[in-house]
Amino acid sequence: MRRFFLTLFLLAALAALGLGAAGLWWVHQPLKLPAPSVDLSVEPGTTPRGVAQAVADTGTDVQPQMLYFWFRISGQDRQIRAGSYELERGITPKMLLNVLVRGEEATRSLVLVEGWNIRQVRAALAKAEQLKPETIGLPDDALMARLGRPGVHPEGRFFPDTYTYSKGSTDIALLQRAMRAMDKKLEAAWAARAADLPLQSADQALILASIVEKETGKAKDRAEIAAVFVNRLRAGMPLQTDPSVIYGLGTAFDGNLRKKDLLADTPWNTYTRGGLPPTPIAMPGKAALLAAVQPAQSKSLYFVSRGDGTSQFSSSLDDHNRAVNRYQRGGGEPKPKVAQ
């Protein structure tokens, strides 16, 4: 009898070892996905058993009970995080659990480019992969109300940067992040402003920075360009910056700025109106924000493009006219970037 029970014990032990070995083998074998990659959504509050079933529901060839058992014996079943995941061909049960426990959600990225206007931002959002479009069709004022900034113009209020997001995130959520980022960058820049700026608020600094962003061809000229506009504000001279005129023309601008456009009065026409325009004209980056509040120590009132991206700066109209003759006379009537 003793020998019989010993035999049973040995057989059971061997069976357990066999099952253990089979299980160890299984957790390292690639799951059979129905496609090169599948999306897995784990909602908050989903149980480990529910997660295993959700994996099977994607069309993956796996027994949910077996997957759930693996979650349990791993001791990490309660550490699985909610989120949107992308399972790629070659993933094993062990790799899957690691992904779920670490919360390695499937992400995409969207680049908001320095100098873009709000139309370009919204167009990029509409084309972004796997980003839920909640802003399509919303007028700008309704958009800002959704973002908690009713009555605020959206131009320039979002910081240009690369934003990663989980699949299934909303464009509203991404814009909120970009808006908060701009708030922080602008606050920091305004706190570091020079003492004698002719600017009354951080919002005015944002407007000036947007102009500097659009006018800068080479980074090394940025602070000097800011100085030109600051000097003009101090002197009570019109800014006469073409990008603001173009912004005021909106979709009517056909790529060719004409003399009649410079004379067509809009709130953003800095040839017909003094001071800063009423809103930013684009998204300024960090460097443009800092240049606007820390302009170069300069007496320059004019600048003109040299044709290579850099600018020639002048403190008198005569010097400016000579620079125009030198750098822009070859192709006809000169078009100075800033002129009296």
Give the helix/strand (H/E) hosting 68.
helix 64-74
83-95: pLDDT as tens digits: 889 899 999 999 9
Alpha carbon of 66 to those of 61, 90, 241: distances in Å? Answer: 12, 18, 68
Residue 16 predicted with pLDDT over 90? no
Q: What is the per-residue burial (b if ≥16 Cβ within 10 Å, else e) of 2-34?
A: eeeeeeeeeeeeeeeeeeeeeeeeebeeebebe
Q: What distance in Å separates the CA atoms of residue 188 and residue 191, rounded to the nearest whole number?
A: 5
**Sign of the CA dihedral with 104 first, then 109, 112, and 118 last:** negative
Name the band, by pLDDT with cuts 50, 70 and 90, for residue 327. confident
Residue 325 predicted with pLDDT over 60? yes
Residue 81 predicted with pLDDT over 70? yes
Rounded to the nearest integer, the mean pLDDT of the chain is: 90
Residue 4 predicted with pLDDT over 80? no
Name the band, by pLDDT with cuts 50, 70 and 90, for residue 105. confident
Tokens of 136: 């399509």
78 secondary structure, DSSP code: G
Name the band, by pLDDT with cuts 50, 70 and 90, for residue 331. very low
Using alpha carbons, select from 157, 126, 152 the residue that is nearest to residue 141: 152
239-258: pLDDT as tens digits: 999 999 999 999 999 989 99
Residue 68: burial class (beta carbons within 10 Å; 0-12, 13-18, 19+):
buried
Higher pLDDT pick, 20 / 145: 145
Name the band, by pLDDT with cuts 50, 70 and 90, for residue 15. very low
What integer pLDDT is reported at residue 86 of this predicted model?
87
217-236: pLDDT as tens digits: 999 999 999 999 999 999 99
Residue 311 and residue 303 in contact, taking contact as beta carbons nearer than 8 Å: yes
Residues in the chain: 340
Residue 168: burial class (beta carbons within 10 Å; 0-12, 13-18, 19+):
middle
Q: What distance in Å separates the CA atoms of residue 154 and residue 88, rounded to the nearest whole number?
A: 39
| Pick from 50-54, 166-170, 215-219, 274-278: least confident | 166-170
153-209: pLDDT as tens digits: 999 999 999 999 988 789 999 999 999 999 999 999 999 999 999 999 999 999 999
